[in-house]
A and B are shown apart, each in its own frame.
Chain A
Amino acid sequence: DGGITQSPKYLFRKEGQNVTLSCEQNLNHDAMYWYRQDPGQGLRLIYYSQIVNDFQKGDIAEGYSVSREKKESFPLTVTSAQKNPTAFYLCASSIIGGRVFSNQPQHFGDGTRLSIL
């Protein structure tokens, strides 16, 4: 079955530590995305990538970094500069229909819940 796999499901970060969230897809999608979800809010875009070795900042990129070395993989690093990292992180992918944010729906993983120790 094609889909998106996020790991780990739960992650704890210590003060001053960088942590990396994994996202892998086997849907052969060109575009991949990272979102942050906080209670009572909609999803907010952190980073997105349309093609290997290229990515763009979203609305809340500060304190986060990404890489796209393979089409299937789009890991997100939450750095120590992110002072409020506790949230539910969702990775998504999609076909690019003319442009990145088009009428093509995004497919989501099951998320990683990050907490501070």
Chain B
Amino acid sequence: AQSVTQLDSHVSVSEGTPVLLRCNYSSSYSPSLFWYVQHPNKGLQLLLKYTSAATLVKGINGFEAEFKKSETSFHLTKPSAHMSDAAEYFCVVTGANNLFFGTGTRLTVIP
């Protein structure tokens, strides 16, 4: 069965410092994994996806994520946070008949 756990409901960083948003997944086969970002009262926007090619995936706005099968993790990182990065982030894993969404991590960026 598939599931996804976002380990932090809220992360707070200072502008210009690194961002780490953690995601662990469970899957009975090789899944596809996604990170989406949601700004207030908006839909979800795709940041990046992993589909069994390179384990280090680069996305938009300077974000990247590394797929680690041994740790069943897909953490999202960015070297330097910007004020515009403040939003809700969702880790998503594919299942046979559904997508499994994490409960989200709210990122706050302190000026």
A residues sitting closer than 8 Å to B (CB atoms) are 4, 6, 9, 40-45, 58-59, 88, 90, 92, 100-103, 105-111, 113
Contact = CB atoms under 8 A, between A and B. Distances in A.
Nearest to A107: B46
Given A105-B46, A106-B99, A113 B41 contact: yes
B34 interface: yes
Interface size class of B (residues with CB under 8 A): 20 to 34
A101 B95 contact: yes
A105 to B, nearest CB: 5
Given A101-B95, A102-B94, A105-B49, A42 B41 contact: no
Contacts, number: 60
A58 B97 CA distance: 9
16 contacts: A9-B41, A42-B101, A42-B103, A58-B98, A90-B44, A100-B97, A101-B94, A101-B99, A102-B32, A102-B94, A103-B49, A105-B34, A108-B36, A110-B42, A111-B41, A111-B43
A45 B41 contact: no
